[in-house]
Amino acid sequence: QVQLVESGGGLVQAGGSLRLSCVASGRTFNSYYMGWFRQAPGKERDIVAAINRSAGTTYYADSVKGRFTISIHNAKNTVYLQMNSLKPEDTAVYYCAAAGIRRIPVRSGDIDYWGQGTQVTVSS
What confidence tier does 92 reach under pLDDT thresholds 50, 70, 90?
A: very high
Q: Please write the tens of the pLDDT for every residue from 27-60.
A: 877 789 999 999 999 999 999 999 999 899 999 9
pLDDT recorded at residue 28:
78
Q: Which residues of 31-61 are buried (b: 16+ CB within 10 A; e: fewer)?
A: bbbbbbbbeeeeeebebbbbbbbeeeebbbb
Beta-sheet pairing, 10-13 with 118-123: parallel
pLDDT recorded at residue 27:
84
CA dist., res. 95 & res. 65, Å (int): 18
Is residue 122 over pLDDT 80? yes
Closest CA to 109 of 100, 118, 120: 100
Question: What strands, in cross-sheet order, belong to the sheet with 2-7?
Answer: 2-7, 18-26, 78-83, 68-73
What percent of the chain has pLDDT above 90?
A: 84
CA dist., res. 59 & res. 99, Å (int): 14
